[in-house]
Amino acid sequence: MISIAERHQYILNKIQNEGRLDVQSLCKELDVSSVTIRKDLKLLEDKNLLYRTHGGATLNNPYAADRPVNEKQYLQSSEKDRIGLVAASLIEENDSIIIASGTSVLSLAKNIVPIGSLTVITSALNVALELLEKPQTEVIQLGGLLRKSSASVTGPYSENILQDIFCSKLFLGVDGIDLDVGLTTTSALEAHLNRQMIAASQKIIVLADSTKFGKRGFGKICSIDQVDHVITDSGISEQTVKALETLGIKVTIT
């Protein structure tokens, strides 16, 4: 049996070559238990040598950075367009929905073609402005403290309005999706408002391009098992899809 130091060096060499690691593969290669490998990964993470992820580790920092919305809209733009188009197809006749903030849900707003009347409650200014152009669409703009980086509002004024409504669907954008941590955003205030949106909605639909998986933000929105449906792109790993589906979450890949 090799020593702990030798095992750690093997792990570091492997992650430098491959960029990411899988716990089960390391167990077989090193002939040790998953408990041992997880302890190894934690020790190496504590030394800032890698980052632990669901079922493994990576060299890439999983913590999401807060970027201005006008910068984020150009990232994975084609993927977000397809995600928004699929999400818009889920809106039903005479529906009442909540749209949170983010560039993925802005793409949804651009693709909405109302059937009958549509009521939309949103925290995002850019979403509200986009929906002004849509016929038969009533928009309820939540008020509160304006968060400039996301062009959306947070705070008690928004939360109080949400206590008096209930909608069929929440279309939610996130900064990170981690199977262990759950859904996160870079703002704790926005995360709190998102939880109020979840409480006011029958179905939770997450719009997230594949780069969001394995990322973590500062503010936790909810655990992954509270989600009903995830719409993403083909960059998502097969392992992640299987893990989500095992939890009973519908996954649509655009």
Residues of each domain in the chain carrying CATH 1.10.10.10: 4-58
Mean pLDDT in the chain? 90
Say which DSSP state 65 is in.
P
Q: In this predicted structure, what is the pLDDT of residue 110?
A: 95
What is the average pLDDT across 27-54? 89
- pLDDT band (50, 70, 90) for residue 45: confident
Grouping H, G, I as helix, E, B as strand and the rest as coil, residue 203 is: strand
Q: In this predicted structure, what is the pLDDT of residue 236?
A: 94
- pLDDT band (50, 70, 90) for residue 128: very high
Length of the chain: 254
Model pTM score: 0.76
Output the CATH code of domain 69-253: 3.40.50.1360
Which one is predicted more confidently, 31 or 74? 31
Q: In this predicted structure, what is the pLDDT of residue 69?
A: 60
Residue 86 near residue 254 (C-beta atoms within 8 A): yes
What is the average pLDDT across 105-117? 94
Residues of each domain in the chain carrying CATH 3.40.50.1360: 69-253
Grouping H, G, I as helix, E, B as strand and the rest as coil, residue 249 is: coil
pLDDT at residue 90 is higher than 80? yes
Q: In this predicted structure, what is the pLDDT of residue 64?
A: 61
Class of 4-58 per CATH?
mainly alpha
* Predicted confidence (pLDDT) per residue in 91-108, tens digit: 999 999 999 999 999 999
- pLDDT band (50, 70, 90) for residue 73: low
- pLDDT band (50, 70, 90) for residue 54: confident
Backbone angles phi, psi at 178, to 5 degrees: -125, 130
pLDDT at residue 60 is higher than 90? no
Q: 144: phi > 0 → left, psi -120 to 50 → alpha, else beta; which?
A: left
